[in-house]
Amino acid sequence: MGAAEAAKRAMCQFSLVKGDEQYLIRYGPGDEVAAIARMMDWAEDPQIDFDWFDAAVLSRQIVQRVMSRTVGEPQEL
């Protein structure tokens, strides 16, 4: 496995700190939808201080990471 292949398989991580709380989302390549779904669950949970704006910001970062990783690669139809 080459360096590029290993980088693609590496875990991705984003975190958000709000006051005393830290929210960490960690996922592997190909698991972006599951990561975004988890953040949607957090946003719906009234017990925690993670809202829809937070989910939108982190989701955008996930999408940007996917886009930067796939630029120049052939896309499957």
Residue found by looking up tokens 């960490």 in the block: 24
C-alpha of 22 from chain center = 15
* Residues 63, 35 contacting (CB under 8 angstroms): no
Q: Which residue has the higher pLDDT, 1 or 51?
A: 51
pTM of the model: 0.74
* Residues 36, 52 contacting (CB under 8 angstroms): no
- Whether residue 7 has pLDDT greater than 90: no
Give the Cβ contact number of residue 62 at 10 Å.
Answer: 19
Nearest-CA neighbor of 63 among 20, 32, 28, 24?
Answer: 32
Q: What are 35-63's pLDDT values in tens digits? A: 999 999 999 999 999 999 999 999 999 99
